[in-house]
Homo-oligomer: A and B are copies of this chain.
Amino acid sequence: MYGSVDNMNDHQILATAKLRATTQRLAMLKEMRKIHGPFTVERLHKMCRSMDVVTVYRNIKSLVAVGVMREVRLKDASLRYEFSPGEETHHHHAVCNSCGYIEELSECKMHSLFSQQTSKKFKSIDEHVLEFFGTCNSCSKK
């Protein structure tokens, strides 16, 4: 659908997605590139103070719709987002229940491993969620 975010600049991403290159969208993309791991709209908005939160919500939604970003639902109230990895780098996360540290886990093999175990009642499985929660090393020594 679109090239990876790594080998396209922000204008190209927006053009490919048929989204206008507004000041706000360019600012958002610039800030998002600085974040590692799934972030909340609140966090991104703090980094893009000049625009309204509604604009952040709407643009993130557009980016999800065109496949540039994807939603990540962890155990907190707000949805998180991250650049959509290609099929090759589809992955999951490990979240520390104590400090909130999020680790990006390596490539996911769930689909191939488990699509068959989902019984005879399903014709196909095309999505899954898998997230781990625990205690990170630094939290375990306190």
Q: Which A residues, 96 to 128, have Cβ-Cβ distances below 8 Å to chain B? A: 96-97, 101, 103, 105-106, 110, 114-115, 117-128
Number of chain A residues close to chain B: CB under 8 A: 34
Whether a CB of chain B sits under 8 angstroms from the CB of A132 is: yes
Whether a CB of chain B sits under 8 angstroms from the CB of A5 is: no
- Chain A positions near chain B (C-beta within 8 angstroms): 73, 94, 96-97, 101, 103, 105-106, 110, 114-115, 117-137, 139-140
Contacts of A96 in B (CB 8 A): 122
Quick check: A103 and B119 within 8 Å, CB to CB? yes
**Which residue in chain B gives the minimum CB-CB distance to A123?**
B140
10 contacts between A and B (CB under 8 A): A105-B117, A122-B132, A122-B135, A122-B136, A123-B134, A123-B135, A123-B137, A123-B140, A124-B140, A129-B129
Quick check: B126 and A103 within 8 Å, CB to CB? no
**Which residue in chain B gives the minimum CB-CB distance to A125?**
B134
Quick check: A125 and B118 within 8 Å, CB to CB? no
Quick check: B132 and A131 within 8 Å, CB to CB? no
Quick check: A124 and B118 within 8 Å, CB to CB? no
Quick check: A133 and B125 within 8 Å, CB to CB? yes
Contacts of A129 in B (CB 8 A): 129-131
